[in-house]
Structure 1
């Protein structure tokens, strides 16, 4: 229920009070796709970051590939996403989004998101296993990342109106959070066309193919150190 409550809060704050409903044709659908999708990334990274530090007894007593723990956490969050997925689809249909061939791209976007989230979870699992206090501030950093990725509003358009330098807008547009949200919205929303179009898909593939191998390598480099703290 967390994505549903988060969506309701964001709709009231950003859609009603701040007038965000006028920024896109189907704001409720836009918000649903953003909140539910980013919740998968956020919860995967948050839970994955504690997968080593929260299982020190298991890590110390049994010899096994430690990468199994953060990867298993991400797969668990994927199952949670599957339970919430029908709610997101119902919201999209109720708000007028038709089922089109582009919906076939949603599983592709989801696969890329899971690959990226696994890489991030592996990186953060090693960092938090070394400096556990980081786990206390990580949820706030991820929330800020969500704001800057356009979970609630099309952030790039808003920055243009505020006169933000083009280089800053570019950084926000190519950051993985923005890219993955754009891909999922483009797949599921006939009423929304994200900036960049198919470039987002190329970037999404790039982020996934870079982050997962890097996460595995970065995590494996400290394989013999886990559980010694």
Structure 2
């Protein structure tokens, strides 16, 4: 297209583009462009995680094998560490302080061992979760993948480690006269619910730890307080019988205590339903659903911010 100026010169002009006047966002939408690293929708995010399930399994196994690779006893420490902790707590709380004096004979040792192993499952998942992003920034920044695979992998690693520990738990239960029966099968749904709870909790603290790495330094104090408040070393109801009922209820209904007591109820003959809070299974499922689903959504909402800044 051409025009002539007042002095007769020929000037060539270009017709206005169809994109003229469009904002950058409108242009990106028109030509199908998207933000690099943008957060996918929730359903798509779940699909991406499922597509990387083999990576999650392989990563968790590799972390498990590498955990004690520098130690001469290797994977033996997976069981030896909580056993040594149990021996220390038994000496202090069982022998010196008499924490199990109100329990039937032969009940306190399996009670203590199961409490330590089950609580360690939650404690280790939480500790691993808080470092899952901040401790793997090289991987997060180098590769594109759903970041939730990291806290899920670390929680799965702790579940695999617990499976080794449960062999010792079963041996101790039998050693103190608690022989296998149908109630032992309750351990399966209990640990499955605890795993969902642990994973959600790991995701919550993974997001918090990604923003505030110093949070990892506070976690040992938080988990130690939680352990003492959950009845790992002593039966809560017996020790708080002279206190207001609401205090005992709050401690018994905290998730760590619920999952520990359900395992004890399943494996210890003398640990009857009177030791469990009302509606214990409803609380076990509720904690798993609320923290598991809520933690997943909370983590997903910050997906595009992990590894930046």
The TM tier, using the shorter chain, reads over 0.9
Asked if the contact 1:42–1:142 (Cα under 8 Å) also holds between the matched residues in 2, the reply is yes
Which residue, out of 171, 184, 190, partners 1:90?
Answer: 171
Partner of residue 158, structure 2: 77
Q: Deviations over 1:174-213 (max 9, x none)?
A: 1111111111111111111253366211210111011111
Report SS of the residue matched to 2:101.
helix
Which range moved further: 184-193 or 194-203? 194-203
Name the CA distance, whole Å, in 2 between partners of 1:199 and 1:24.
Answer: 23
Which range moved further: 66-75 or 17-26? 17-26
Asked if the contact 1:109–1:180 (Cα under 8 Å) also holds between the matched residues in 2, the reply is yes
1:166 Cα offset (Å):
2.1
Name the CA distance, whole Å, in 1 between partners of 2:89 and 2:271.
Answer: 19
Asked if the contact 1:180–1:200 (Cα under 8 Å) also holds between the matched residues in 2, the reply is no
Which residue, out of 2, 8, 18, partners 2:97?
Answer: 18
Partner of residue 207, structure 1: 287
Q: CA RMSD in A?
A: 1.2
Partner of residue 133, structure 2: 52
1:156 Cα offset (Å):
2.7
Asked if the contact 2:130–2:215 (Cα under 8 Å) also holds between the matched residues in 1, the reply is no
Count of paired positions:
227
| Alignment TM-score, normalising by the size of structure 1 | 0.95
Q: Deviations over 1:37-69 (max 9, x none)?
A: 111111011111100000001111111100000
Report SS of the residue matched to 1:151.
coil
Which residue, out of 237, 240, 248, partners 1:169?
Answer: 248
**Bigger RCO (CA 8 Å, 6+ sep):** 1
Name the CA distance, whole Å, in 2 between partners of 1:218 and 1:58.
Answer: 21
Q: Please list, as runs of the form range in 1=range in 2, the aligned pairs for 1:177-188 lying within 5 A after superposition.
A: 177-188=256-267
Q: Deviations over 1:106-156 (max 9, x none)?
A: 111010110000000000000111111111011221121011111110123
Partner of residue 226, structure 1: 306
Q: Please list, as runs of the form range in 1=range in 2, the aligned pairs for 1:81-120 lying within 5 A after superposition.
A: 81-120=162-201
Partner of residue 152, structure 1: 233
- Find the structure with the greater CA-based Rg: 2
Asked if the contact 1:156–1:172 (Cα under 8 Å) also holds between the matched residues in 2, the reply is no
Name the CA distance, whole Å, in 2 between partners of 1:183 and 1:199.
Answer: 12
Name the CA distance, whole Å, in 2 between partners of 1:169 and 1:85.
Answer: 28
Structure 1 runs (4+) deviating above 6 angstroms are none
1:88 Cα offset (Å):
1.1
